[in-house]
Structure 1
Amino acid sequence: MTAPPDTDVIPFGEVTEAQLREAFERTDYVADDALTTTVLLSLRLGKPLLVEGPPGSGKTELGKVLAEGFDTELVRLQCYEGLAAESALYEWNYTKQLLAVQSDEGSVADEGSVFREEFLQERPLLRALTAAGDRPPVLLVDEIDRADEEFEAFLLEVLSDFQVTIPEYGTVAAETPPAVVLTSNRTRGLSDALKRRCLYLHVDPPSFDTEYEIVRRKVPELDAAVAAEVCAVVERLREEPFLKRPGVAETLDWARAVAALRTGDTGTDITPAEIERTIGCLLKEAEDVRRVDDELLERLRAAAATAEERMEG
């Protein structure tokens, strides 16, 4: 992959729409005008971007694409229930501190403290504040809705001033704030305070045409006609009342599975038997898999049969 022309020295706040679109194009990320504009405003205004949508819709991928497309570091904080501030920010290397105290080198006596940078272990948030380079990193706070409200309040404080005070060490502030992307699957509601400080983007399941373009870019080894059938089948599956409808991630998994199985000349039509054998790529709940009966398989086959006409249209 070629390096982005001249973008390695341009601050996020000065990125143009053309440069953002070029970064998306280079990383094969399909973005419509609304998404592109919202991301651009987030970068230009220096505001965190809160991205919500169903699982597998490409929310996490957006943060990865920004880091790759602009050739900067991706710092990822994966949230989970019970996540503590210390786990996300910093902790002291107590073993190293103890060894320093017990050693005969005199390093502690000379410096007067074991609470120094050499004993400080950076976690994602502190790393995002202190990362060096021509451009600050992209901080991806993934699935913030899985963390509890106390951590959300702590994160809000950090993102407000992009600095943190370590009691034994002092205040650490970012010379240039990172670009921040927060994702949420809406497993719980987020606070109004967090939402007010972010630009908001809701990612819906893509249209047939958009998903077809995504599959063609990400799975180029798959025949174009079959790629269209894959997208048509997934689109039809999303109309069913499943516990978990397939997202773009599942579409890509299935497309790669179909491509891997079609090593010979097996024709272009996706058959009901082929769908049934590979349904585990698309559906991840036992109850959903049991709903795939002969009648539904026939409806999926019929949807696939219309794919070529829709692709031409």
Structure 2
Amino acid sequence: MSTPMPASIDETLSMLNSQDYVADRALATVLFLSLKMGRPLFLEGEAGVGKTEIAKVLSKALDRPLIRLQCYEGLDISSAVYEWNYPAQMLEIRMSEAAGISDRDRLEHDIFADRYLIRRPVLEALSGEPGRPPVFLIDELDRTDEAFEAFLLEVLSDFQVTIPEYGTIKAAERPAVIITTNRTREIHDALKRRCLYHWVDYPSAERELDIVSRKAPDANRQLSEEIVRFVQKLRQMELFKVPGVAETIDWATALTELDKIALDPATISDTIGVLLKYQDDIARLQGSEGKRILDDVKAELASA
């Protein structure tokens, strides 16, 4: 049996906190309601703000298996839902022919048996063991096309999949479904209506500092404060891709590995590629601009 679900919003906050996921009350509320109502949770937000991590934390906290469907352009049913083990089926047909079995109905029944069915993530999510339904993560749904999105409607409406040669497979217990999107395209309203919705925003400086202290505990306190404030200022700039929380943690970890206890212009210049991933953005932070932001950060901390 899996761990019991949280019985309140406060218990949901405590559950997330116990796994070092620093969430605000709004996120804990919608997550609690999603679990309580058995509805998928649709999470939108910029890359790197912790959407995928919510499913991982939920799986660990509830002691349920995590099944992840990583979406991409061209994703089809054979990769996402199921396919038949064609080589094994052909071998079964040849062996039946060699044994003189000519009953077509029996042969068809045999080759479309469960042992030849290869279960992909969607079907796995519907086939969880009793008392321990999985956490089903549909990650970056916006990368797929509208045809696959339409197929998911049956899954999210009735938690079942129909296989023509096999029949309908329905979940004995609904999995906890987390859907994420980076909003590179709009998802159809029909799918959104089947979900509860939450926008995962960048955290405040206070909450981000708490995250860094948990995820990069070896980082010097002064260094962590300077990193968080520096990143918060970068998010106010017109960059091609502002850094997410994941990059903040990576930077704190990298600078700790370099035995840094505070930021300085040379360190920023040398390690900015950990934080920013586009050359145009990096070029803006080289030289005087990076130093100007750092001076502002140090002045703010000195007056705090």
User: Do they superpose with TM above 0.5?
Assistant: yes
The residue correspondences of 1:84-123 to structure 2 (distance < 5 A) are: 84-103=76-95, 112-123=109-120
Query: Is 1:294 the equivalent of 2:291?
Result: no
State the partner residue of 2:250.
253
Q: CA deviation at 1:99?
A: 2.0
The match for 1:46 among 38, 43, 50 is: 38
Q: CA deviation at 1:287?
A: 1.1
Moved more, 161-170 or 289-298: 289-298
Query: Is 1:161 the equivalent of 2:158?
Result: yes
- Secondary structure of 1:136's counterpart equals coil
Query: Is 1:8 the equivalent of 2:2?
Result: yes
Task: List per-residue Cα deviations over 1:130-165 (Å, max 9, x = no partner).
Answer: 021522111100000110011111011211000111
* Alpha-carbon distance between aligned partners in 2 of 1:162 and 1:180, rounded to the nearest angstrom: 10
Is the CA contact (8 Å cut-off) linking 2:82 and 2:120 kept in structure 1? yes
Query: Is 1:74 the equivalent of 2:66?
Result: yes
State the partner residue of 1:3.
none
* Alpha-carbon distance between aligned partners in 1 of 2:295 and 2:44, rounded to the nearest angstrom: 32
State the partner residue of 1:24.
16
The match for 1:127 among 114, 124, 127 is: 124
Q: Letter of the aligned partner of 2:195 in structure 1? A: C
State the partner residue of 2:27.
35
State the partner residue of 2:230.
233
The match for 1:224 among 221, 237, 251 is: 221
Q: CA deviation at 1:103?
A: 3.4
State the partner residue of 2:268.
275
Aligned length, in residue pairs: 298
Q: Letter of the aligned partner of 2:273 in structure 1? A: G
Query: Is 1:191 the equivalent of 2:185?
Result: no
After superposition, the CA RMSD in angstroms is 2.0
* Alpha-carbon distance between aligned partners in 1 of 2:162 and 2:49, rounded to the nearest angstrom: 36
| Percent sequence identity over aligned pairs | 46
Q: Identify if the C-alpha distance between structure 1 residues 306 and 91 changes in structure 2 by more than 3 Å, giving closer, same or farther.
A: farther
Task: List per-residue Cα deviations over 1:270-307 (Å, max 9, x = no partner).
Answer: 10111111100111111111111322111221243146
- Secondary structure of 1:103's counterpart equals helix
Relative to the length of structure 1, the TM-score reads: 0.90
* Alpha-carbon distance between aligned partners in 2 of 1:9 and 1:39, rounded to the nearest angstrom: 16
Q: CA deviation at 1:309?
A: 5.2
Moved more, 81-90 or 170-179: 81-90
- Secondary structure of 1:278's counterpart equals helix
Please, which runs of 5 or more residues in structure 1 have no aligned partner?
Answer: 1-6
- Secondary structure of 1:160's counterpart equals helix
Is the CA contact (8 Å cut-off) linking 2:130 and 2:173 kept in structure 1? no
Q: Identify if the C-alpha distance between structure 1 residues 103 and 164 changes in structure 2 by more than 3 Å, giving closer, same or farther.
A: same
Q: Identify if the C-alpha distance between structure 1 residues 214 and 96 changes in structure 2 by more than 3 Å, giving closer, same or farther.
A: same
Task: List per-residue Cα deviations over 1:64-102 (Å, max 9, x = no partner).
Answer: 111111111100001111111221100001111122223
Query: Is 1:138 the equivalent of 2:135?
Result: yes
Please, which runs of 5 or more residues in structure 2 have no aligned partner?
Answer: none
State the partner residue of 2:168.
171
The match for 1:202 among 172, 195, 199 is: 199
Is the CA contact (8 Å cut-off) linking 1:64 and 1:74 kept in structure 2? yes
Q: CA deviation at 1:239?
A: 1.5
Q: Letter of the aligned partner of 1:287 in structure 2? A: D
* Alpha-carbon distance between aligned partners in 2 of 1:248 and 1:234, rounded to the nearest angstrom: 9
* Alpha-carbon distance between aligned partners in 1 of 2:3 and 2:226, rounded to the nearest angstrom: 43
Q: Identify if the C-alpha distance between structure 1 residues 170 and 76 changes in structure 2 by more than 3 Å, giving closer, same or farther.
A: same
